[in-house]
Amino acid sequence: MDAIKRTSAVEQLLGLQSDLAASGITYLTGCGATPGLLTAAAALAAQSYAEIHQVKITFGVGIANWEAYRATIREDIGHLPGYTVEMARAMTDTDIETLLDRTNGILTLENMEHADDIMLELAGICDRDRVKVGGVVDTRNPKKPLSTNVQITGRTFEGKISTHTFALGDETSMAANVCGPAFGYLKAGIDLHRRGIYGLFTSAEVMPKFVR
């Protein structure tokens, strides 16, 4: 996925924008952890700057056994250099176990094709080529190999170059960081729909509403 950029799901959804609005549908997309919580954090942090130079999202995921997250691991393998989603889909469990044995269970992902870049561009934050997404997945250890974070580097109106960093606590699980924002954005989407606001929205445009 490093070498070949495919049309993302978000770009496909953009083609439905007018149809969604005309049909009275409020559709929120990219509303998990990344894209989602970290995308929103980047959009908020960007307000300190007159120009954004780079947004770098780095995630750390630890799981005790890859078989509990088969679909996720296959998707991650599809982002590795030399692999594609089609290749990962065709791999047998034995193939995957052989790959993980070779990497000691570690998957290092760089310059992933992700929706954060498109969302931040749509929101007017920065061009998509200034957004980098990557991370490390440990498929044999529930402890995160590194803290998930987003760094936003930009120039202030005084001409100063600075970097904001927003880091997720290591104690929060992947499920908590995905499901929490998803429910928050669902609540926000319901509120927009009740107000008669229809169409396609992303996590960089709408703030989630806290769910108790």
**Dist. CA 9–CA 159, nearest whole Å:** 37
Give the pLDDT of residue 3: 32
> Confidence class of residue 2 from pLDDT cuts 50, 70 and 90?
very low
Largest CA-CA distance found in the chain, in angstroms, rounded? 56
Catalytic residue annotation: 5, 75, 79
> Confidence class of residue 170 from pLDDT cuts 50, 70 and 90?
very high
Which residue's structure tokens are 């926000």? 188
Q: What is the arithmetic mean of pLDDT over 94-112?
A: 94
Nearest-Å Rg of the Cα atoms of the chain is 18
What DSSP string runs through 54-92? EEEEEEEEE-S-GGGGHHHHHHHHHTSTT--HHHHHH--
Calculate helix-pair angle for 70-78, 93-102, nearest 10 degrees. 60
CA angle 181, 187, 20 (to 5 degrees): 100
Q: What is the pLDDT of residues 143-157, one digit of tens each?
A: 999 999 999 999 999
Give the pLDDT of residue 67: 86
Q: What is the arithmetic mean of pLDDT over 178-186?
A: 96
Whether the CB-CB separation of 201 and 189 falls below 8 Å is answered with yes
- pTM of structure: 0.88
In the 8-state DSSP scheme, what is residue 48?
G
Give the pLDDT of residue 153: 98
Give the pLDDT of residue 5: 43
Give the pLDDT of residue 65: 86
Residue 201 has pLDDT above 50, yes or no: yes
